């Protein structure tokens, strides 16, 4: 990110989303895909060459907005059906901490679906791919109470 993030008065002028994504891998999976330094460099270069439509300022805002965010404060108030999707190999909300499961238990109609780790999953980024949880989401949508507005 040092090489692709240029700031002026605290405003990001270049958008390093690809570099950010490359900087947070699930190491074992990526090491299997690129076991040598030249292969790893090529994988990073390929990611950095992809077109980036995200705005780095949005990422900065999202991270800063989370500093005082306290979702547990109102979990019991949630009445909607909730499906919390997490990845077994996720590095952002590691299942072994029990934090997500504990929080969702406080939601009346809450469920957790843990995407099993595999050679195809990529940690937290796995949750971006609905093929890993499409069936569970369909079940939620079919079983959730229907309300008219």
According to DSSP, the residues that pair with 12 across neighbouring strands are 7
Residue-wise pLDDT for 64-80, tens only, equals 888 888 878 889 999 99
Residue-wise pLDDT for 46-68, tens only, equals 988 999 888 889 888 888 888 88
Q: Between 20 and 49, where is the model more confident?
A: 49
Structure-token pair, residue 28? 């074992």
Residue-level pLDDT at 1:
39
Q: How confident is the model at residue 3 (pLDDT cuts 50, 70, 90)?
A: very low
Residue-level pLDDT at 93:
86
The model carries a pTM of 0.62
Residue-wise pLDDT for 75-122, tens only, equals 999 999 999 999 998 888 889 999 999 999 999 999 999 999 988 888
Ramachandran angles phi, psi of 84, nearest 5°: -90, 120
**Which helix (H) or strand (E) is 87 found in, with range?**
strand 82-87
User: 5: exposed, middle or buried (C-beta count within 10 Å: 0-12, 13-18, 19+)?
Assistant: middle
Q: Between 10 and 134, where is the model more confident?
A: 134
| pLDDT score of 126 more than 50 | yes
Residue-level pLDDT at 71:
78
> Rounded to whole angstroms, what are the CA distances from 138 to 93, 104, 111, 117?
23, 19, 13, 21
């Amino acid at each position: 990110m040092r090489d692709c993030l240029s700031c002026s008065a605290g405003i990001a002028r270049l958008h390093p989303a690809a570099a950010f994504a490359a900087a947070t891998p699930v190491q074992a999976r990526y090491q299997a895909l690129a076991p040598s330094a030249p292969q790893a460099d090529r994988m990073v270069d390929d990611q950095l060459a992809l077109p980036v439509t995200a705005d780095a300022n949005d990422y900065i805002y999202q991270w800063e907005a989370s500093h005082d965010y306290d979702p547990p404060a109102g979990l019991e108030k949630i009445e909607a059906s909730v499906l919390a999707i997490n990845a077994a190999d996720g590095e952002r909300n590691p299942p072994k901490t029990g934090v997500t499961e504990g929080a969702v238990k406080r939601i009346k109609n809450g469920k957790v679906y843990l995407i099993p780790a595999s050679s195809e999953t990529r940690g937290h980024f796995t949750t971006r791919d609905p093929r890993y949880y499409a069936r569970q989401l369909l079940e939620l949508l079919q079983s959730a109470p229907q309300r008219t507005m």
